[in-house]
Amino acid sequence: MPKKVLIQLDCDPQPSTFDAIVAVDAGVDVLLRHGGVSVDSVVPLVHGGMFTRGGADLAATAIFIGGSDVAAAEAVAAKVRSAFFGPVRLGVLVDPSGANTTASAAVIAAGRHVQLSRGSAAPCRAVVLGGTGPVGERVVGLLAGKGCHVTVVSRSRERAELVVGRIVAAGAMPSRIEAVEHHGAACLPGSAFATALEQAEVIVAAGAAGAMLLDEAGRKAAAMARVLVDLNAVPPAGIAGIAGPDRARVDGTAVVYGALGVGGTKMKIHKAAVARIFAGNDAFLDAPELLAIGESLEAGG
């Protein structure tokens, strides 16, 4: 078997050192790191990987697509996919800004305590705070994919509705997803935000680092919540009372996870995904596939 070569395609000027180290720890032999990658420059980089090895050896070359500009990375990912033809293709992992692995880990944490997939009569109700960011939108999409009723919370109704529109266009039932505008961390009784909180079994905070999105009073309003996940690692917490290392800590009638508590699962998914793209040349791993990998790891697979 030839050496495992990972072509790291990053849209930032300098490719991520984090993604490089995870690749090495996941068993990559040779890392080809490219920064400043765009849709205009990516195809020759992909062809270089496609045309050097043949047959089964093609599986020993794979691609990682990353960078902090998630939209740019998604566009590069689409271009990479279109560069393949027939069996002449490479395994691909798409995880810009860690958004796909983080969102998958958050959904797995929630699924440990609440049945996310149910019959149509009583879907699990989830609220995603900061649901317009790269991580939040992916959490929304993954929960919607499980059949949950999801409330997308943003300071802008327009931005939340754009997310709702994209998730519905991807196949979610329009009646199972709603946009709610909310400002600050307090919960005004009688507001649409308060109603969503009161009904939620799952709450995920995916707001920007250091932004508190739910205060103590808001948490009290969320009386039905069984699991709360806060992905913000920078003080103050995104959800009052949750600390970064919390991992399934029982807090009243709910269990809570902080960013570090979710981070272990995220890292396991990332490393398993790197292994998967070298297991054959057919994988194209985006958020849903990464969630499936995480679920398989949870099940001991």
Ligand X SMILES: NC(=O)c1ccc[n+]([C@@H]2O[C@H](COP(=O)([O-])OP(=O)(O)OC[C@H]3O[C@@H](n4cnc5c(N)ncnc54)[C@H](OP(=O)(O)O)[C@@H]3O)[C@@H](O)[C@H]2O)c1
Cα 88 to its chain centre, rounded Å, is 28
> Side chain identity at 187, as an amino acid letter?
C
Q: Which helix (H) or strand (E) holds 8?
A: strand 5-10
Compute the distance between CA of residue 191 and CA of residue 66 in angstroms, rounded to an integer: 38
In three-state secondary structure terms, 250 is: strand
Q: Which is nearer to ligand X, 18 or 51 (CB)?
A: 18
Listed ranges 118-126, 164-172, 200-208, 285-293: which one lies at the site for ligand X (CB under 6 A) = 200-208
Q: Which of 275, 274, 268 shows the shortest CA–CA distance to 300?
A: 268
Compute the distance between CA of residue 289 and CA of residue 211 in angstroms, rounded to an integer: 29
Cβ count near 291 (within 10 Å)? 25
Compute the distance between CA of residue 105 and CA of residue 108 in angstroms, rounded to an integer: 5
Q: Which is nearer to ligand X, 2 or 288 (CB)?
A: 288
Residues 240-279 close enough to bind ligand X by CB under 6 A = 259, 262-263, 266
159 binds ligand X (CB under 6 A): yes
**Which of 56, 173, 209, 223 touches ligand X by CB under 6 A?**
209
Compute the distance between CA of residue 232 and CA of residue 243 in angstroms, rounded to an integer: 9
Q: Which is nearer to ligand X, 49 or 238 (CB)?
A: 238
Do β-strands 254-257 and 227-230 pair in parallel, antiparallel, or remain unpaired? Answer: parallel
Listed ranges 46-54, 112-120, 132-140, 190-198: which one lies at the site for ligand X (CB under 6 A) = 132-140
Least distance from ligand X to the Cβ atom of residue 151, Å: 13
**Which of 206, 214, 273, 283 touches ligand X by CB under 6 A?**
206
Q: Which is nearer to ligand X, 16 or 154 (CB)?
A: 154
Beta strand spans in 165-261 (E) = 177-181, 202-205, 227-230, 247-251, 254-257
151 binds ligand X (CB under 6 A): no
Q: Which helix (H) or strand (E) holds 198?
A: helix 192-199
Structure tokens at 254: 């709910």
Write the DSSP assignment of 114-128 as a string of letters.
S--S--SSSPPEEEE
102 binds ligand X (CB under 6 A): yes
Least distance from ligand X to the Cβ atom of residue 296, Å: 20
Q: Which is nearer to ligand X, 61 or 97 (CB)?
A: 97
134 binds ligand X (CB under 6 A): yes
For 110, counting Cβ atoms within 10 Å of its Cβ (0-12 exposed, 13-18 middle, 19+ buried), the class is buried
**Which of 49, 136, 141, 218 touches ligand X by CB under 6 A?**
136
Listed ranges 111-119, 140-148, 171-179, 209-217: which one lies at the site for ligand X (CB under 6 A) = 209-217
Q: Which is nearer to ligand X, 147 or 178 (CB)?
A: 178
144 binds ligand X (CB under 6 A): no
Q: Which is nearer to ligand X, 43 or 208 (CB)?
A: 208
**Which of 91, 123, 133, 218 touches ligand X by CB under 6 A?**
133
| Total site size for ligand X, rule CB under 6 A | 26
Listed ranges 12-20, 73-81, 203-211, 214-222: which one lies at the site for ligand X (CB under 6 A) = 203-211
Compute the distance between CA of residue 147 and CA of residue 230 in angstroms, rounded to an integer: 22
Compute the distance between CA of residue 16 and CA of residue 287 in angstroms, rounded to an integer: 19
Least distance from ligand X to the Cβ atom of residue 138, Å: 8
Binding positions for ligand X, rule: CB under 6 A: 97-98, 102, 130, 132-136, 154-156, 159, 206-209, 211, 213, 231-233, 259, 262-263, 266
